[in-house]
Amino acid sequence: MTIDPDIQAAFDMQAVGVTDRRRNFGLAERKQALSLLSDVIKNNEAAIVAALTEDFGKPETETILTEILPVLQEIKHARRHLRGWMRPSRVAPTLATFGTSARVRPEARGVCLIIAPWNYPFSLAIGPLVSCLAAGNAAIIKPSEMTPATSALIARLLAETFSLDLVAVVEGGLKTSQALLSLSFDHIFFTGSPAVGKIVMSAAAKTLASVTLELGGKSPTIIGPGANLKRAADWIVFGKFANAGQTCIAPDHLFVHVSVKETFTRLLRERIAKAYAEGSISSDLSRIVNKHHADRLAGLLTDATAKGAHVTQQEIRDGTRFKPVLIEAITPEMAIDHEEIFGPILPIMAYDDLEDVIMKINARPKPLSLYVFDNDRKRIDQVIEATSSGSVGVNLTLIQFIHNRLPFGGVNNSGLGSAHGHYGFCAFSHERAVMTNHFSALPLVFAPYTPGVKRIIGIIRRVLE
Ligand code: NAD
């Protein structure tokens, strides 16, 4: 594959600098790089807000809450804990290794590629960069081509802040991504769909680059009979309609206990009306990112209604703006039942027996998140123990993302590896084992294997086995 000379030059420059960074990109320099990143974000808040408004009409408050604050918080947390994260950890010797000492040194992987999606185009490009720099690596970032204003802004801001041998931004779509994936990166951090995640992992297999895959899927949500329905409605409307539902961990669909379904659906409608004023489409709702995705969502609705589903609104779309839609009577033949919705459409399904819901969840790929609303500890534990997902939210949605001390990531189809805080630092680090001999007795059993040596081995076996 022919590679754009600028991409090759940036990669070569970063690769050549690996040894130098090992020696000279220590705690102080990494903290300084993180400060520079924090300053450039704080000084350009208005430009970031404007880029996201241009790209998909994201309301200023949401941009501050979901794109800027999480990254600034991530930087602050990394700066505060970096010394401890970087410190090699001593490990005690085992019986067999008596007479040695050992430690685990987290080391920079080298040159890393960060591929970002469009739905949180700022925070999902810059958040991984925080962990990447904290771990002492250089990075090439490829933002999403679907949000061109944010992509151009990221490229400009990072070019003004860092030298190319530390951080480079390469803008572009599929071809650019493919060209980048043909280079021998030490680590690839990809956020996007499971389908492209598989392409990234096969590309990484060619060079045996390590990967972190932050993927998506359908995050199911259970409303149990003991849930505080009003509070559940608040959290679900926030989690589902922030960013117009274009959130990897948004509740995708609801399983509502039959005893509370009517009341809960009414409360949901009232909460939606309060948040996003009925009538015209509220400016507190983002647009759908482009016509392709707006058509995809409209297609999901047409398909579902043609097959017997009921929607709550008739007039749901104005160009790329959608009103929140509640949809009922979903059946397995409908595409909305198995495709990730990724928009402001919320299917509601009634259930009677929690075991049926658990069976349905387990029949699907493991979700990125799973939400349970209930007040009954036993039922909540029943769900957690019998299922698997990247994360679980109990009586909340989305905010597990902003907890710096929690790993953020999926499992199998929803991802591989973790991001955020110390977990993000580890994703971009190699845990190198260093072992030093002081007075190990093991040379006593080296060849030649005389009867004396065999006797010693016999004694060792009796102690160790
Ligand atoms: P996507 O997979 O289409 O694209 C992501 C990135 O990959 C983009 O930069 C794109 O240019 C690049 N890309 C696209 N096709 C490619 C190919 N064939 N080869 C190489 N690179 C390619 O995802 P998207 O539409 O931008 O984002 C939506 C998806 O991302 C959803 O599935 C969502 O759930 C998921 N997501 C996951 C997380 C998470 O943290 N787990 C966060 C946000 C979004």
Per domain, the residue ranges of the chain are: 5-215+414-432, 219-407
- Is the CB of residue 216 below 6 angstroms from any atom belonging to ligand 1? yes
Neighbouring-strand partners of residue 138:
111
- The mean pLDDT of 143-172, rounded to a whole number, is 98
What are the backbone angles phi and psi of residue 249, rounded to the nearest 5°?
Answer: -105, 15
pLDDT digit string, tens, across residues 410-431: 999 999 999 999 999 999 999 9
Give me the long-range contacts of 44-49 (CB less than 8 A, separation at least 24).
44/153, 44/157, 47/153, 47/157, 48/122, 48/150, 48/153
Decide: 174 in ligand 1 pocket, CB within 6 A: yes
Beta carbons of 347 and 369 less than 8 angstroms apart: no
Is 412 close to ligand 1, i.e. is its CB under 6 Å away? no
Q: What is the strand order of the sheet 100-108 is part of?
A: 89-91, 100-108, 429-437
**Does residue 365 register a pLDDT over 60?**
yes
Q: What is the mean pLDDT of residues 152-157?
A: 98
Residues in the chain: 465
- Which pLDDT score, from 0 to 100, does residue 313 have? 63
pLDDT above 70 (res 111): yes
Percentage, residues of the chain above pLDDT 90: 93
Question: Best of 119, 190, 243, 252 to mutate for ligand 1, by most ligand atoms within 8 A of CB?
Answer: 119
Residue 442 burial (CB < 10 Å; 0-12/13-18/19+)? middle
Average of per-residue pLDDT across 436-444: 96
CA atoms within 13 Å, Cβ hemisphere of 42: 10
pLDDT of residue 319: 85
Higher pLDDT among residues 171 and 282, named by residue: 171
pLDDT for the residue numbered 315: 57
Phi, psi of 428 (to 5 degrees): -95, 10
Q: Is the CB of 153 under 6 A from ligand 1?
A: no
Residue type, 357: V
Averaged pLDDT score across all residues of the chain: 96
Beta bridge partners of 321: 318
Gap from CA of 101 to ligand 1 centroid (Å)? 44
pTM: 0.96
The pLDDT confidence band at residue 282, using thresholds 50, 70 and 90, is confident
Residue 57 CA, chain-centre distance (Å), reads 23
Q: From the CA of 192, give the closest atom in ligand 1.
A: 30
Q: 219-407 architecture in CATH?
A: 3-Layer(aba) Sandwich (3.40)
Residue 177 beta carbon below 6 angstroms from any ligand 1 atom: yes
Residues 298, 314: Cα–Cα separation, whole Å: 12
In this structure, the residue with its CA closest to atom 42 of ligand 1 is: 248
Phi-psi region at 224: left, alpha or beta (left = phi > 0; alpha = psi -120 to 50): beta
Q: 74: Cβ below 6 Å to ligand 1?
A: no
Q: Which atom of ligand 1 is nearest to the CA of 144?
A: 9
The percentage of residues in the chain with a pLDDT greater than 70, rounded to a whole number, is 98
The rounded Å distance from CA 2 to ligand 1 centre is 23
CATH number of 5-215+414-432: 3.40.605.10
Which residue among the candidates 214, 328, 340, 426 is catalytic per the annotation? 214
Least-confidence region, from 162-171, 203-212, 274-283, 398-407? 274-283
Higher-confidence position of 278 and 329: 329
Determine if ligand 1 sits within 6 Å of the CB of residue 368.
yes
- pLDDT band for 280, please (50, 70, 90 cuts): low
Q: Is 336 helix (H, G, I), strand (E, B) or coil?
A: helix
Q: Whose CA is nearest to atom 9 of ligand 1?
A: 144
196 close to ligand 1 (CB < 6 Angstrom) = yes
Instruction: Choose which residue among 248, 340, 342, 401 to substitute to test ligand 1 binding: the one with the highest number of ligand atoms within 8 A of its C-beta.
Output: 248
Mean pLDDT of 236-265: 97
CB-ligand 1 contact for 193 (6 Å cutoff): yes
Which atom of ligand 1 lies at the shortest distance from residue 145's CA? 11
**pLDDT value of position 312:** 78
Best residue for ligand 1 mutational test, from 1, 188, 191, 341 (most atoms within 8 Å of Cβ): 191
Distance, CA 144 to ligand 1 centroid (Å)?
8
128 lines ligand 1 (CB under 6 A): no
248 is catalytic: yes
The secondary structure of 353-391 as a DSSP string is -HHHHHHHHHTSPPPSEEEEE-S-HHHHHHHHHH---SE
H-run or E-run covering 257: strand 251-257
Edge-first strand listing for the sheet containing 415-416:
167-169, 138-142, 111-115, 187-191, 210-214, 415-416
pLDDT score, position 450: 97
CA–centroid distance, 176 to ligand 1, in Å, is: 14
pLDDT digits (tens, 9 = 90+) for 47-68: 999 999 999 999 999 999 999 9
- Mean pLDDT, to the nearest integer, of 347-364? 98
Measured from the Cα of 142, ligand 1's closest atom is 9
pLDDT of residue 70: 98
CA 218–ligand 1 middle distance (angstroms): 15
In short, whether 29's Cβ falls inside 6 Å of ligand 1 is: no
Catalytic choice (74, 112, 132, 248): 248
Q: How far apart are CA 156 and CA 117, in angstroms?
A: 18
Q: What is the largest CA-CA distance in the chain?
A: 92
Cα 195 to averaged position of ligand 1 atoms, centre (Å): 8
Residue whose token pair is 């705690």: 27
The rounded distance, in Å, linking the Cα atoms of 223 and 233 is 10
- The pLDDT of residue 314 is above 70: no
The pLDDT of 258-279, averaged and rounded, is 90
- Sorting pLDDT into bands at 50, 70 and 90, what band is 2? confident
Ligand 1 pocket member 173 (CB < 6 A): yes
**Protein residue whose Cα sits closest to atom 14 of ligand 1:** 174
Q: For residues 253-258, give the mean pLDDT.
A: 98
Model confidence at 279: pLDDT above 80: no
